[in-house]
Copies of this chain bind each other. A is one copy, B any other.
Amino acid sequence: MFQHISEFYSWFSKRTANNQYDVQQIPLENMGGWGISYDSGNITHVSGKFFSVMGVDVTTDHRATERWQQPIIVQPEIGILGILVKVVAGTVYCLMQAKMEPGNINLLQLSPTVQATRSNYTRVHKGDSVPYLEHFITPRPDQAVFDTLQSEQGSWFLRKRNRNMIVLATSEVTVLDNFCWLSFDQISTLMAVPNLLNMDSRTVLSGIPFLFSDVYGDRLKLSKSSGLPHTSLHSIEYLLSWFTDMKARFSLARELIPLRTVSSWSLTDGAIVREDGRHFSVIGVDVRASNREVGQWSQPMLKPSQRGVIAFIGRYINETFHILVHARTEAGTNDIVEMAPTVGCIPSNYDGMASEDRPLYLDVVREAKVDSILVDVVHSEEGGRFYHAENRYLVIDAGEDFELEAPLDYCWMTVDQLTSFVRYGNYVNVGARCLLSCLIEESASLAPKLVK
C-alpha cells in the first residue's frame, strides 16, 4: 500500500520501464493468425476464437439516419472484469494491475485485478494463466458485493457485455508483480489523470457506491447545502416508466451482413475505411511485448477518426444537482435504448454542418465556460479492441437558466438515481458509467465549492 500517491507514481514508472512494447500498424492482410474471408470479407481468427469484425445493417426510428451499414465487432462471450477489494481500518483498497494493451495511449494503464474471457473461467482444468481468477469464479471463498452484466460501446460492439464484479477478499492476498493495492480515495484522485485508469477499471468502479453506500454513496448526493434533504425532480417510479416508454416507443432492427458488402466502406491500403473518413476505421496492428503470455501477436482494431466527447449537462433543481440523461439507441445496443450521457459523439464528424444538423446539446457543451465545468478529463476506451480511442469526459453545470424542457428521450435525474440503476445491468451505458466513476471524486471535492 502506498502512503502517498507519489509512491504510486514511482512504482508505476518502474513498471513502464520494466516492460518493453512495440506496436506498429500493419495492413489487415498481413496479420498473422487472422484472416479475411474470401466470400464475406469478415475478419476472424484462425481458431474461431476471440472476436470477429463483420458488417451490420441497422434500421431504427430513433436516430437521425433511418438506416445504415457499418463494420461491427462481434464477440458473444461474456468476459469477467473483476476488482478484488479489502477493507483495512475502515478504508477500502482495490487490487489494481499495471497492464499493457496495444491500443492504449501510453500503452500501460491501470486495469482491474482480472480481465478474463469465458474460456478462461469455465475451463475444467485449473491451469489458470490468469492470476487471482479463483476469487471470481464459483465456488469462491469470497463474497461478490457487486456482480452484474454490463454493456460496452454500442457503436462498435454488437450486443457485447461483460460481467462487472467487485469481490471482497476475506483472507490474505499475495500481491504479485505488476499489481498494487490502491485506496479508493487514491483511485478517485487518479481518476482525474488522463489515460491512466482504463475503461474496464472505470466501468467496474461505478459499482463501488453499492459496496459501502454509507461512505461512498453519500458523495453522489450533490446538494448545495449538505444539511438539506436530497430532493429529486422525479421519483424512481417515474424514471422506470420513462425508460419503459422509450423501449416500447422506438424500434431497432439489426442484420449481420458480409463485411465486404457494407455500403460506403471499403478495404483500402490495408485498412477498412469509410469513404468520407468519418467515424472510425478498422486497422491491423503488430504487437511485441515482454509482459504478456504471448510475446508477439497481430490483431485487428477499431481506430476512431478523432477524439470524442462524452458529456453530462446538469443543473441544480430543488437545490440538488440533476443531470440530463439520454435514452440512446446505437447500432449494437442490447435492448433498443440505454441511459446515456447527454452528448456522446465525435465533434469533428459535424464540422461545417448547420447547427440543426449537429447532435443535440453538443453546442451547449462546446460553449461551456470554465467555471461551469465539474469534470474534464481525457480517458481512453478499451485498449484491447480500440486503437487510441480517446474521449473527453465532461460534466457541465449549465446553470439554473438552462431550460428544464427537453425532448421526450431525455430525462432529468440526480446522480444517485442514475447510480441506483447500475447494479441491475443493461440500464446505464458505458459512457454514463465512466462519467459516474469520475463524479464520485468530483462530488467530494467540488460540491462545497458550489454552495453559493
Chain A residues within 8 Å of B, Cβ to Cβ: 78, 80, 118, 122, 138, 143-149, 163, 165, 210, 237-238, 240-241, 244-245, 247-249, 408, 423-425
Asked if B144 contacts A237 (CB within 8 A), the reply is yes
Asked if B237 contacts A146 (CB within 8 A), the reply is yes
Listed by A's residue number, 11 A-B pairs whose Cβ atoms lie within 8 Å are A78-B247, A143-B238, A144-B238, A144-B241, A146-B241, A147-B240, A148-B244, A149-B248, A240-B423, A240-B424, A424-B424
Asked if A245 contacts B424 (CB within 8 A), the reply is no
Asked if B147 contacts A241 (CB within 8 A), the reply is yes
How far is it, in angstroms, between the C-alpha of A147 and the C-alpha of B236 when the chains are bound? 11
Residues of B within 8 A of A210 (CB): 237
CB distance from A245 to the nearest CB of B (A): 6
Q: List 8 tightest A-B contacts by C-beta distance, closest first.
A: A147-B241, A144-B241, A147-B244, A78-B248, A424-B424, A163-B248, A145-B237, A148-B244
Asked if B147 contacts A245 (CB within 8 A), the reply is yes
Asked if B249 contacts A163 (CB within 8 A), the reply is no
How far is it, in angstroms, between the C-alpha of A249 and the C-alpha of B121 when the chains are bound? 9
Residues of B within 8 A of A147 (CB): 237, 240-241, 244-245
How far is it, in angstroms, between the C-alpha of A248 and the C-alpha of B238 when the chains are bound? 31
Residues of B within 8 A of A144 (CB): 237-238, 241
How far is it, in angstroms, between the C-alpha of A163 and the C-alpha of B423 when the chains are bound? 22
CB distance from A239 to the nearest CB of B (A): 10
Residues of B within 8 A of A245 (CB): 138, 147
How far is it, in angstroms, between the C-alpha of A138 and the C-alpha of B148 when the chains are bound? 31
Q: Which residue of A238, A240, A249 has the most chain B CB atoms within 10 A of its CB atom?
A: A240
CB distance from A90 to the nearest CB of B (A): 19
How far is it, in angstroms, between the C-alpha of A241 and the C-alpha of B247 when the chains are bound? 25
Residues of B within 8 A of A149 (CB): 244, 247-248
> With contacts A138-B408, A163-B244, A163-B248 known, what are 16 further pairs, Cβ within 8 A?
A78-B247, A78-B248, A118-B248, A138-B245, A143-B237, A143-B238, A144-B238, A147-B237, A147-B241, A147-B244, A148-B244, A149-B248, A210-B237, A240-B423, A240-B424, A424-B424
Q: Which residue of B lies closest to A118 (CB)?
A: B248
How far is it, in angstroms, between the C-alpha of A408 and the C-alpha of B137 when the chains are bound? 13
How far is it, in angstroms, between the C-alpha of A143 and the C-alpha of B144 when the chains are bound? 37
Q: Which residue of B lies closest to A80 (CB)?
A: B248
Asked if A122 contacts B249 (CB within 8 A), the reply is yes
How far is it, in angstroms, between the C-alpha of A80 and the C-alpha of B248 when the chains are bound? 9
Residues of B within 8 A of A241 (CB): 144, 146-147, 165
How far is it, in angstroms, between the C-alpha of A347 and the C-alpha of B191 when the chains are bound? 57
Q: Which residue of A138, A143, A241 has the most chain B CB atoms within 10 A of its CB atom?
A: A241
Residues of B within 8 A of A145 (CB): 237
Residues of B within 8 A of A425 (CB): 244
How far is it, in angstroms, between the C-alpha of A238 and the C-alpha of B148 when the chains are bound? 11
Residues of B within 8 A of A408 (CB): 138
How far is it, in angstroms, between the C-alpha of A144 and the C-alpha of B245 when the chains are bound? 11
How far is it, in angstroms, between the C-alpha of A118 and the C-alpha of B424 when the chains are bound? 26
How far is it, in angstroms, between the C-alpha of A238 and the C-alpha of B408 when the chains are bound? 36
How far is it, in angstroms, between the C-alpha of A237 and the C-alpha of B78 when the chains are bound? 20
CB distance from A191 to the nearest CB of B (A): 24
Residues of B within 8 A of A163 (CB): 244, 248
Residues of B within 8 A of A249 (CB): 122
CB distance from A241 to the nearest CB of B (A): 4
Residues of B within 8 A of A424 (CB): 240, 424
Residues of B within 8 A of A143 (CB): 237-238
